[in-house]
Structure 1
Amino acid sequence: MNNEQLSKLTLGQLEPGIPHALPGGGYVALEVLTDRFSSRMHQLTVSNGRLIYTVILERGMDIGELRLDAGKISWERDMRYLLHPVHVDLTDNEHSGWDSGFYAAVAAIGPEIFGTPDEVRTVHGTGSYSPALPESVLLSWDERQITLEGKVPLRGYEAVPVYDKVIRIITCYGAATLLREDTVRNLTDIARPVDDGYHIQLAGPYMSEGGSYILPVPPGKMLLRDAAPPEENPCAVYDTMTRLDPIRCYQYVPEPVEGLAALPLVRDYWNDIEGDSALTAEMLVNAGQDTAAYVIRSLRCYPRSLIAKRATRDWMYALEPCKTRPNSLKQKTIDGEIVYVGPHGECKGWIILGATHDPQEIATLTQMIRSAAE
């Protein structure tokens, strides 16, 4: 490894295939990937000495994979699904939000209206289909944490971009967590709706025998969308041999989870999240109750939630923190859910992702989250 002592690195200073050592036993590495149409993409791998995440620069700085203690936390997804955005037809609303280039562990939703597609809008917005500016990508570190940041001009649906986004991903040395913060900026002279969030795939191989969602909402308040057949237990995660088709999507309003702000896994990032107090959490726990992955976020940023479940030839159990329920623009307007950002204004949102192999930590988080649903 290159052991030159620097506190920051630009993308141009990284050579593909040559890792650069970071404090705490961590490293950063650049890899050039080629999709099935021979288009090149750049992937950064960042390790804090324990947690490893990848970032796909051409895909809106989506987080491609997550690993903890050498075990994969994010879903198993064939590389054939990883496409450069030039090969994704956003007018194909049957596939563009899901199967066409849908690969990442953490895919950006929005910032345009997401949910029910129409003749203009795709299911997930265009954030995940927008390349980062290479010259904006910067990795920096200090005595406690590593920060990756970059700027993404949003592809949008118009000839000229109306949004851009500044993204930061922060992780502390040796931690089992990371913080992702997205700042969406309105580039125009008029107010614009911002409807962002994330589609998060944390059901990795540790969930292969099944398990459950732990959610801060009573099952009776989880609304099954799109006339899909009901399940006996909407929080069930089935083993990899069980098929679940068609997709089940449940939307709900999460309750605040008391006590999260006092946990070390949140306090580590307290200064970065500006002391948000109204927090909630969702978690996936395996059948053995010995491994879990979770999402913590601010209800001020993302006051709604969706889970999406499908098990056909692949296996998908997703969490989707979001600003609004995934309905049509008309319905969101009727419900008064749309958030507007003023001319040249900005809107921030953040999530903390983490995982644990500690049964006591799992039990504590389970009790805190379920208490919010009572």
Structure 2
Amino acid sequence: MAKTLYPCLLIVLLALSACAQSNSDPTAGEVVSAPNFVGDIRSVGFGANDQRLFAALGPTVHRWDISSGDHSQFEVAAASTLAVSSASPMLFVGTNEGEIVALDAESGAEVQRWTAHRPELATDSGNIGVTALAISADGQRLASGGIDGKVALWTSSGDSVTSWATEGEVTALALSPDGTQVGAGDGQGKLTIFDLTNDDQQSVEIGKHIYGMAWSGDGSRLAATGSDVSGGTLHVWESEGWSALSSADSEAWLYGVAFDPNDANRLAVASRNGSVFLFDATTGRSLETVPGSDRAVYAVAFNRGGNSVAFAGQGGSDGAGGVVYLTNLESGELRTFGFEGLE
């Protein structure tokens, strides 16, 4: 049965200063664009008990040893997004052609490959086949979303668990820690929650193109970010009853979002102005701004310990790749990882 959620409990509107924005401000009629430069990094993640950092860029998955800065790379044709968990030895990569490729996260060897989404919709139009991936806390389940509007749930070995159809391209995805609920967003601002335990579906409209979604580490909260010409928005819901908890508005466009895995009250949000914003998920209040990039930030991830965030985003229009930033939230130390290792 489908239900509609109304964000009506605690609504907190917060205007954030765009600060030294390196990208031009949106003009009337301009459509919010997805990351589309050749050098854009759309996803980052931690693996190997927070000892490794991963990013997908073009045909390559990049890996860094966080302690030494040593850099390795694995070739995956048309890589579009990735999902990695510190609890799993596997790395999952989505491709423009609609495939999911499972790699050994240490050696980079291909373990499994399967078609997840209709490749002809991507290859015929030049768009991305697998638009989003999300992995469960134990690394045993994987969710995928695609340009074909399908949301699919898989085992880590590539076996299909179930799938659902949505009304449009899936632009953001989140999988609950126990792997039983999937949240999917689209470009029209609709967020749908699929519950595997009771085959229920619930939906909410946030009014903006949804770019990021995340589940809290304890499964109690779901967050989503959206953006349009008027700016960005952040919404948080309680998973028990799906009541709205908080929301915040920003002058800067907002993209990826991540919960501190150990604190359901703390969120990190990637922004177009090159910063990562930390929010209180309960109140919607801005806690801190983490600077780092002079270009738009599309992806953000907390490490398992919750004391560091990695973020990355816009590359160059000439195809020059971006870099990955790693900030220790306790000391404030900022490290930059490029394609030659630690910079």
Structures share a fold, TM > 0.5?
Answer: no
TM-score calculated relative to the size of structure 2: 0.26
Higher share in strand: 2
Question: Which structure would you say has the larger Rg?
Answer: 1
TM-score (norm 1): 0.24
